[in-house]
Structure formats: structure tokens, C-alpha cells
């Protein structure tokens, strides 16, 4: 894969999470030599993330990154994640990453595929007629939170607290979020964040009973159309879960890299032997 697109995938991910952190009332962005921190400092670990600043060749480099991230997150008491790009680890290091990160309380979590497109292809099938509503009010923000909480098996109240931030969905140069309603129920959602002239697609989720119908695709297309109309954003980047990957392929996205999330539980819930130094 072209190295410039691998770099773009990493910088877009970091830029999106910096957006979340900077607009969160409890958030913080911190650039350390070993790791970038983009944390909303909330109980939902999805928004408490550390990122590698560059490719790594040695075990010591990966462990220094994990140690620096742990030193930041441990005193704050929340669960957190370390994002590790597969293409940014030397081949031998890749195979040992989980073992090397375990002493810092990090366990293998979800995998995502970084994807990009300059133009969506036409839909391959008719999309459902959804009642699409912009998530500018508290009710819309709660809908986005509740759908994501169910999709990621996370506590609803924790996700609501993390996402009840007007700037995430307000539009007007900030994030723009949409909720698709089907049969009177909030069924699917997506948010677009402007990151360095690119539309970053985030917080895509669909309730189980509305999946495999094209609901997510319909909402994403509407959100991207609005981002293009109001901000001129054309190129788009996202990081797909395994469930979302085939949807994005059908829409015209192509894979460029893989990013693994290693997850650390709150310090209070871990044995003392697993607490990071």
C-alpha cells in the first residue's frame, strides 16, 4: 500500500480523536515524544486513546509508548486504548505486540481497517427510505449515543455522557451527525468530522433489527453529501470494523492499512500485578 496513504490513515485517526478531545469539557490533547494522547477523559474508553507518533522498529520503542500512555491514563482512573498501526511495526515486532503490551494492562481489542475514497460509487441496491434527522439537539445526541452503546455493548449512560457535546454534531464547520429513523425508531447513525480538508466518518452504528438493509449506507451518504455541500469536502477516510468493512467496500472505499486497538481496563478493576509502572 502507498506509504502516504498509510500515514494519512494514522493522521486522520489522530486528528478526529483530537477533535473529540478538544471539544469535550474534560478532554485533553498531549503530544509526548513516545505517544500522542487524544483523550476525552470519560468512562467510555472509545474516546480515551493513545496513538503512536511514528513507525517503530524495536520492542523497547513499543514498550516506551505503552508506558508513557499508562502514566497518563492510570492516575485518571478510566479505561483507555492504544491504537497500533500494523504497518508501523517491524514484522517481528508485530507478532509480539500483544505479549509486549500485556504488562501495561493492555489486552487485544478490536481491529479496524483504514479505508479511503475520493468519490463514492453509485449504490448497488435501492437504499431504505429513512427519516433522516440532524443530531443538533440533545435528543439527537442521545440517539447517536444509544445506538453506539448497543452496537459496542457499552453502558448507555457512559456513552451518553461522552457524546453529549454539541460541537460533535452541530455542523457549521464542526462535526455533523445524522440519525436515520425507520418505522418510528432511531435505527442508524453517522457523524462526519472535518480533519485537514478531509471528511472523516465516525460513530457509524446500526441497531441489530435494522441491519443488512442499507441503513448505515443511507445515513453515511446523506452526511457526506452535507459535508460536501457546506464545506466542500470530497475525499473521505474512515476506520472500519469487520462488520462495516463490506458495506464500505460496496460504497467505493478501499483498504490502506489495519489498526489494532489494545484496551486497558480501569486501574481499580485490574489486579495489582497488572498495574503499569
Question: Which is more confidently placed, 270 or 210?
Answer: 210
| Mean pLDDT score, 58-78 | 97
| Mean pLDDT score, 103-120 | 97
| Mean pLDDT score, 34-50 | 98
pLDDT reported for residue 200: 98
Domains of the chain: 3-111+258-274 (no CATH), 131-234 (3.40.630.30)
pLDDT reported for residue 173: 82
Angle (CA) 65-81-249 rounded to 5° is 110
pLDDT reported for residue 272: 55
pLDDT tens digits for range 122-175? 999 999 999 999 999 999 999 999 999 999 999 999 999 999 999 999 888 889
pLDDT tens digits for range 239-268? 999 999 999 999 999 999 999 999 999 988
Q: What percent of the chain has pLDDT over 90?
A: 92
pLDDT reported for residue 1: 52
Amino acid at each position: 500500500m502507498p506509504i502516504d496513504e498509510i500515514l494519512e490513515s494514522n493522521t486522520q485517526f489522530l486528528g478526529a480523536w483530537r477533535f473529540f478531545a478538544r471539544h469535550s469539557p474534560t478532554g485533553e490533547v498531549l503530544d509526548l515524544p513516545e505517544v500522542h494522547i487524544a483523550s476525552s477523559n470519560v468512562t467510555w474508553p472509545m474516546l480515551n486513546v493513545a496513538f503512536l507518533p511514528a513507525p517503530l522498529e524495536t520492542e523497547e520503542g513499543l514498550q516506551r509508548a505503552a508506558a508513557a500512555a499508562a502514566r497518563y491514563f492510570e492516575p485518571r482512573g478510566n479505561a483507555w486504548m492504544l491504537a497500533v498501526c500494523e504497518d508501523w511495526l517491524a514484522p517481528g515486532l508485530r507478532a509480539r505486540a500483544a505479549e509486549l503490551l500485556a504488562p501495561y494492562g493492555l489486552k487485544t481489542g478490536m481491529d479496524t481497517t483504514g479505508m479511503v475514497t475520493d468519490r463514492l460509487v453509485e449504490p448497488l441496491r435501492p437504499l431504505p427510505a429513512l427519516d433522516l434527522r440532524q443530531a443538533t439537539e440533545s435528543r439527537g445526541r442521545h440517539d447517536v449515543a444509544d445506538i453506539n452503546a448497543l452496537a459496542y455493548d457499552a453502558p448507555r449512560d457512559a456513552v451518553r455522557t461522552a457524546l453529549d457535546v454539541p460541537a460533535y454534531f452541530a455542523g457549521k464547520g464542526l462535526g455533523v451527525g445524522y440519525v436515520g429513523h425507520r418505522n418510528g425508531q432511531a435505527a442508524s447513525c453517522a457523524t462526519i468530522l472535518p480533519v485537514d480538508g478531509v471528511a472523516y466518518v465516525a460513530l457509524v452504528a446500526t441497531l441489530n433489527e435494522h441491519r443488512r438493509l442499507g441503513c448505515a449506507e443511507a445515513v453515511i451518504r446523506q452526511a457526506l453529501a452535507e459535508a460536501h455541500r457546506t464545506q466542500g469536502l470530497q475525499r473521505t477516510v474512515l476506520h472500519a470494523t469487520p462488520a462495516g468493512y463490506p458495506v464500505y467496500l460496496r460504497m467505493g472505499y478501499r483498504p490502506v492499512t489495519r489498526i489494532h486497538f489494545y484496551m486497558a481496563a480501569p486501574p481499580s478493576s485490574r489486579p495489582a500485578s497488572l498495574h503499569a509502572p
